[in-house]
Structure 1
Amino acid sequence: MTKEWWKEGVVYQIYPSSFKDSNGDGIGDIPGITSELDYIKSLGVEIIWVSPFYKSPQYDMGYDISDYQDVYEKYGTVEDVEALIQGCHERGMRIIFDLVVNHTSHLHAWFQESASSKTNPKHDWYIWRPARYVNGERLPPCNWRGFFGGSVWEWDDNIGEYYLHLFAKEQPDLNWENPEVRQAIYNDAMRFWLDKGADGFRIDTVNMYSKRLDFPDAPVVEPDTRWQPAYDLICNGPRMHEFLREMNDEVLSKYDAMTVGELPHTPDPAHVLRYVSASARQLQQVFQMDLVFLDFGERSKHYPRKWALTEFKTALEKWQNFIEGNDGWTTNFLENHDTGRSVSRYGSDSPQFAAVSAKMLAVFLTTLTGTTYVYQGQEMGMVNAPKIWPIEEYKDIETLNSYNEVKQITGNDKVALEEVMKGIQLTARDHNRLPFQWDASANAGFTTAAKPWMRVHDNYREINASQQSEDPTSVLSFWKNMIKLRKRYSELFVHGSFKICDFEDENVLTYVKEHGKNRAIVMLNFSDTPQKANVELVRDMAILVSNYTCKSDESYLLPYEGRVYI
C-alpha cells in the first residue's frame, strides 16, 4: 500500500465563524485562525481543513456561495486567506478548503443571469423545468423532498418555470451537464485557490452533480406529506464518475491536490471503491456516513433511534476492511460541522464520564486504519449544548426548518414539539457550531464582543483549551499523546489490517491491528459500568496506553475505559 502525505496526516477541521474572532465583531474570521496556528500545530496535526469562507449571503452558513474568488466580508479578505496559507506552510502544515460546486447562492452572478431570461447565454447553467398541472393545480416537476425539507423545486415568475435546489431555495443547483459550467467551476472555484497554494479540497455533496434528469416521482414512504425522500434519484447519477474523472484529469492531478468527498447515501463498498480507487482517477478519499448516521431515525435525523454496539461494529468493520486487497483508501471521523458532539452521541456527556469517554473515543479514532479527522473542540471534549436551551438559541436552517415543519403540521402541538426537540438536542448541526472555548474569560475568549454570533456553551469555565493545555491529565493532553502514538506506530495504526474480536458484545469493542510482525489490540468499553476484559487475548502484551491514570484490575475495563496493548 503506497504512502502519501494525505494518508499519513491527521486532519483538523475549522469552522471559521466559530473558531476565533480577531476584530471583536462577534464572529470568527480568517485572521483569527491565523493567530492560532501555533495552537493547531501543537496538536500534532499536519493538515487543516477550513469550511467555506467565500463570499456568501449566509443562508446556509457559507454553503451558498455568491463569488468563489472572494471572501465573506466578516471573515476577511483574499489577502487574509493568502496569509493563512503562508502561515500553514511555514509551520510545515498543509491546508485544504471546502469545494461547494453542486450549487451556488441565488445571488451568484451566474444565477442572476440564468434567471434573467430564457435567452440569456447562462440560462442553461442551472436546471429549469416547466410546471406540471394536475386538475388545474400547478405542481413541481416531481415530488422529491429537499434535504432541508419541502420541495426541491422553486417557482420563478419571471422565467415561468421551476428551478432545482436540493438544499435551500437560495441554493440553486448548477447544471453539470453543460460543459461551460464545468470549465467555469474548474477555473473560478478550483484553479484560483490552488494557484494561491491551497493543498486540496474537501468536496461537498460530491455524488450529487449527476441526477436523474427525467425526474421521476420518488416512491411514497411518508404518506402524510407531499414531498418524498429521493436519495437514489439524487445521488450517484449516470454521469457522476465521468464528471469526477474529468475534474481530476483537468485540474486536481496537475497540483498533487488532496481530495476527500462527502459521499452520503452510498452504502455499497463496491460503489464507493469506484470513487476512491487510485486507478479510477477520481477521488483519494470519501467520508462514509454509516457511523455518523447511526442514530438517525427513518423519518429524519431529528427523530433519532437507539442503536446497539453490534450495529456500530458492523459499520466500522465494513469500512475498515473495505480497502483490503485493493488500491482504495478510507477515512475515520465521528464529528464535523454537520453533526452533534461525539461525546454526547457515542460516550457520555455527564460530568462523571464526559472526560474519560472523550479520551476513549480518542483512543478509538487514532488507532483506526485510514486518514483520521478531528473537528475543532473535539480535542478537548466539547459536548452538545445544554438541554435547557430553548429553540431560540439554535441558528441552523436545517434545525429551524425541521422544528417549524412539525409546528405547522401539528398545529403547534406541545408533545410533538417536545419530541422533535429531544432529537435536536442530540443531532442538530448547531452543537458543533458553538464558539470554540479558548479560556475561562468572558465568552470563552472567543470574542471581545458583548455578544457572539452564537451563544457560548455554559460549561466553558470547566472545558477550555487554556486550562487543559496546562493539565497533563486533560482530554487535550491525551489527544496530543494519542496523535503522537499514531505517528510513532503509523505502519500499524494508519496502514494495519483490522479485525474485531468480540462482535456479539454489546458493551465492549475489541479489535486487532496488524502490520507485518507488529500487532496491537485495542479494548474500548462503551458503557458506564465495569466490563470483563479478554485478558487471554493480550497475554504477554504490554499496555501502550490507557485513558485511566490509576492502575486497575486488568481483567475488567472501567466505565468508558480505552486500552491499547502492543
Structure 2
Amino acid sequence: MNKKWWKESVVYQIYPISFMDSNGDGKGDLRGIMSKLDYLKDLGVDMLWICPIYKSPNHDNGYDISDYCAIMDEFGTMEDFDLLLKEAHLRGMKIMMDLVLNHTSDEHPWFIESKASKDNPKRDYFIWRKGKNGGPPNNWESYFSGSVWQYDESTDEYYLHLYSKHQPDLNWENQKVIDSMHEMVEWWLKKGVDGFRFDAIAHIVKAVGLPDGANPLKLPTVQAYDLFSNLENVHTLLKNLYDRVLFHYDIMTVGETSGLGPEQALSYVGDTRNELNMVFQFEHMFLDARSTGTGKWDVVPWNLLDLKKIISHWQIVMHEQGWNANYLCNHDQPRSVSRFGDDQEYRVESAKMLATFLHMLEGTPYIYQGEEIGMTNIAFQSIDDYRDVETLNFYEQSMQRGIPEEKIMQALWHKSRDNARTPMQWSNTEEAGFTTMGGEPWIRVNSNYPLINVEAAVKDPNSIYHYYRKLIALRKQHEVIVYGLYELLLPLDEEIYAYTRTLEDQQLLVILNFFGKEAEFKLPEGIQVDTKGLLISNYPVKSGEDISTFTLRPYESRVYLTTIQS
C-alpha cells in the first residue's frame, strides 16, 4: 500500500470570480477567498484548488492567460496572493493552482510578437499554417464549436486554437517554449504553492502534419479529437517536466485528460510513470448526452447501470496501480444535485446520497464550491443573462440553424457551464451575501438563495453542509475509506448502487438508492455486516436494525463498517 498525503486529502475547488467579492465590484477576489478560510477549515478540507487567477482579458474566465506571473486586476495583487497562501498554510490547508499549459491569451506578449510578422523570433511559439483550398489548413473543430483555425489577414496565415480564438495553442515542439514553461512552473513552486491542476494537458501535442480528421458527413469542420488528445509525446513532455521541475517538490498534481479509459490513464498516473498523481476522467460526464448530434447539449436520460460500469472499471483498474480523482461537478459541469439527484422535493436527501457515493470511493474526492450546501442549476430566461463563451457560441449557432429558441434554452438549463458559475450563496441577504456595498454580481445570483445558503446550512445540524463535514471526518478516521479495495454488489440492480471497500479485516458496506422512490435491498450472500457499525446515513436508522432485507427510502444512503470474522 503506497501511502501519500494527497491520497488522504479532500480537495475544495474555488471558482474565484464567483466565490466571494470583498470590494463591491461584483466579482469575487483573493481577499474574498481569504475571508472564508475559516469556513473552509471548519468544513475539513485539506487542499484548495483555485481556478486561474493570472492576468487575463477574461474571454474564457481566466483560462486565457496573458501573464503567468501576475494576478488579474479584478482579483487583487500578488501581495494578496502571498497573504492568502500564508493564511491557508497557517490553517493547515494547501493551495493548488490551476495552470494552463496548452494555450495562452491572444493578448500574451508572446502571441503579440508571434503575430507581428512571419520572421518574428516568437512566430514559432504558436502553431501557424497556410490555408488550404481557400480555407483553413484542416477540418478540425474547436471544443467551443467552429474551426480550430483563425485567419490572420496581416500575415495571410491561420493560427490554431482548440478552444476560443482568443486562446492560441502553444507550440510544444519548440524547446524555448518548453524551457519557458518549466521556468514559470518552478517560479510558482518556489513561492510555496502545493500543487497544480494542469488544464487541457492532454492536448499539448498534435498529430504530426496536422492531417484532416475522418469526415464522413462532408462537413466544413469535424471533431477530430483523437488527433490532438492523449498522443504519445504528451508523456515524453510530462516526464521531462517531472524530471526537471516537479520531482524536487512534495506537491499534488492532477491533469485534465478527456477521452480516455483507466488503462490509458495509467500511462499518466501509474506509480512508476513519474508524470502526474491523478487525472480527471470524463466518461461519467457523458452519460446524459447523445454520442451524435450536438454532443453534450443533446440531453438524454442517464442509466444507473452505465454509471456502475464506468465507475467500477476505474476503481478496479486503478487500485494499487494509480489513483482516481473523484468528482460529480466542477466549473465546467452542471450542478450534481440537479444532474444526478432531485433538486426539488428530495434536494437534501439526494445531495447527501451523492456525497456519500463520492466520498466512499477509492480516490481523492473533489468538492466544487456550493456542492456542500446543495446549490442547484440556474434557468435564466434570457440568453442575455448568460456569460459563458461556449454557451453563447452554441446559442448563436443553434439560432442560425433554425432550432427553436425554447429548445435551445432547455439545453442551456441542463448543460450550460454557467450552471456552476453563479455566485456562491453565503446568506439570505441581498445578492446572497456574495458582494458588498451594493455591488452588482458579474452574473446573476440563483433566486433560490433565501433557502439555500451557507448561513442557514451552518445553523442546521441536519444540513447537507454538516453531512459533508461528517463524511470528511470519517475519511480521516478510517484508512479503509482511503485505501480499501472496491467491489461492486448487485451489478444488475437498476435502482440501488451498492459496493464494499475492504482493507485487511475492515470492510465498508455502502448502500445507495439513486432514485426518488422506494427500493428493496437484499443483502448479497457472503457479506458480513455489523449493523451496530453504522457510520453514516442520510435518514434516521435504528442501531442494530436488520438489513438482510429492507426498504430503502427515496435517495437513502447508508455506510456500515464491519470487522470481518475469518
**TM class, shorter-chain normalised?**
over 0.9
- Distance in 2 between the 1:274 and 1:215 partners? 24
8 Å contact 1:211–1:238 — kept in the other structure? no
Displacement of 1:221 after TM fit?
Answer: 5.3
**Alignment map for 1:126-165 (pairs within 5 Å):** 126-133=126-133, 138-165=134-161
Aligned partner of 1:492 among 464, 471, 480 = 480
8 Å contact 2:230–2:257 — kept in the other structure? no
SS class of match (2:49): strand
1:283 to 2:276 alignment: yes
SS class of match (2:95): strand
Displacement of 1:67 after TM fit?
Answer: 0.3
Aligned partner of 1:532 among 520, 545, 550 = 520
SS class of match (1:132): coil
SS class of match (1:280): coil
8 Å contact 1:204–1:261 — kept in the other structure? yes
- Distance in 2 between the 1:507 and 1:186 partners? 48
Q: Which residue of 2 aligns with 1:468?
A: 457
- Distance in 1 between the 2:9 and 2:541 partners? 31
Displacement of 1:522 after TM fit?
Answer: 0.4
Give the aligned CA root-mean-square deviation in angstroms.
1.4
Q: Which moved more, 1:446-455 or 1:552-561?
A: 552-561
**Alignment map for 1:65-464 (pairs within 5 Å):** 65-133=65-133, 138-188=134-184, 190-220=185-215, 223=218, 225-267=219-261, 269-298=262-291, 299-326=294-321, 328-350=322-344, 352-386=345-379, 389-410=381-402, 413-414=403-404, 417-448=405-436, 449-464=438-453
Displacement of 1:539 after TM fit?
Answer: 4.5
Q: Which moved more, 1:161-170 or 1:548-557?
A: 548-557
- Match of 1:131, as an amino acid? G
Aligned residues with identical type, % of pairs: 44
- Distance in 2 between the 1:85 and 1:211 partners? 36
Q: Which residue of 2 aligns with 1:32?
A: 32
Q: Which residue of 1 aligns with 2:531?
A: 541
- Distance in 2 between the 1:395 and 1:150 partners? 19
Displacement of 1:538 after TM fit?
Answer: 5.5
Q: Which moved more, 1:528-537 or 1:315-324?
A: 528-537
SS class of match (2:297): coil
Q: 1:60 to 1:125 in 2, by over 3 A?
A: same
- Distance in 1 between the 2:123 and 2:491 partners? 55
Could you tell me which runs of 5 or more consecutive residues in structure 2 were left unpaired when the two chains were aligned.
562-566
> CA offsets per residue over residues 182-201 of structure 1, 9 Å max, x none?
1111112x122111111110
- Distance in 2 between the 1:356 and 1:282 partners? 39
- Match of 1:557, as an amino acid? L
> CA offsets per residue over residues 225-274 of structure 1, 9 Å max, x none?
4211111111022411100000111111112221000010112x222101
SS class of match (2:113): helix
- Distance in 2 between the 1:221 and 1:365 partners? 40
Could you tell me which runs of 5 or more consecutive residues in structure 1 were left unpaired when the two chains were aligned.
none
- Distance in 2 between the 1:565 and 1:255 partners? 38
1:513 to 2:513 alignment: no
Q: 1:111 to 1:484 in 2, by over 3 A?
A: same
- Distance in 1 between the 2:327 and 2:217 partners? 31
Displacement of 1:160 after TM fit?
Answer: 1.3
8 Å contact 1:297–1:303 — kept in the other structure? yes
8 Å contact 2:501–2:509 — kept in the other structure? yes
Per the normalisation by structure 2, the TM-score is: 0.95
SS class of match (1:493): helix
Displacement of 1:300 after TM fit?
Answer: 1.6
Per the normalisation by structure 1, the TM-score is: 0.95
- Distance in 2 between the 1:459 and 1:158 partners? 50
Q: 1:142 to 1:197 in 2, by over 3 A?
A: same
Q: Which moved more, 1:271-280 or 1:122-131?
A: 271-280
> CA offsets per residue over residues 275-307 of structure 1, 9 Å max, x none?
001211111110111122221222321112222
SS class of match (1:494): helix
- Match of 1:409, as an amino acid? R
- Match of 2:407, as an amino acid? E
8 Å contact 1:221–1:228 — kept in the other structure? no
Q: 1:544 to 1:171 in 2, by over 3 A?
A: same
- Match of 2:348, as an amino acid? A
> CA offsets per residue over residues 518-545 of structure 1, 9 Å max, x none?
0010000011111001246454433221
> CA offsets per residue over residues 494-518 of structure 1, 9 Å max, x none?
1111111111111110101100100
- Distance in 1 between the 2:520 and 2:157 partners? 64
- Match of 1:119, as an amino acid? D
- Distance in 1 between the 2:364 and 2:170 partners? 30
- Distance in 2 between the 1:322 and 1:78 partners? 42
- Distance in 2 between the 1:562 and 1:157 partners? 60
8 Å contact 1:347–1:526 — kept in the other structure? yes
8 Å contact 1:303–1:420 — kept in the other structure? no
Displacement of 1:124 after TM fit?
Answer: 0.4
SS class of match (1:38): helix
8 Å contact 2:518–2:554 — kept in the other structure? yes
SS class of match (1:522): strand
8 Å contact 1:66–1:108 — kept in the other structure? yes
- Match of 2:531, as an amino acid? M
- Distance in 2 between the 1:62 and 1:165 partners? 16
8 Å contact 1:521–1:564 — kept in the other structure? yes
- Distance in 2 between the 1:303 and 1:422 partners? 10
8 Å contact 2:104–2:170 — kept in the other structure? yes
Displacement of 1:419 after TM fit?
Answer: 2.4
Displacement of 1:389 after TM fit?
Answer: 2.8
- Match of 1:249, as an amino acid? D
- Match of 1:242, as an amino acid? T
Q: Which moved more, 1:311-320 or 1:250-259?
A: 250-259
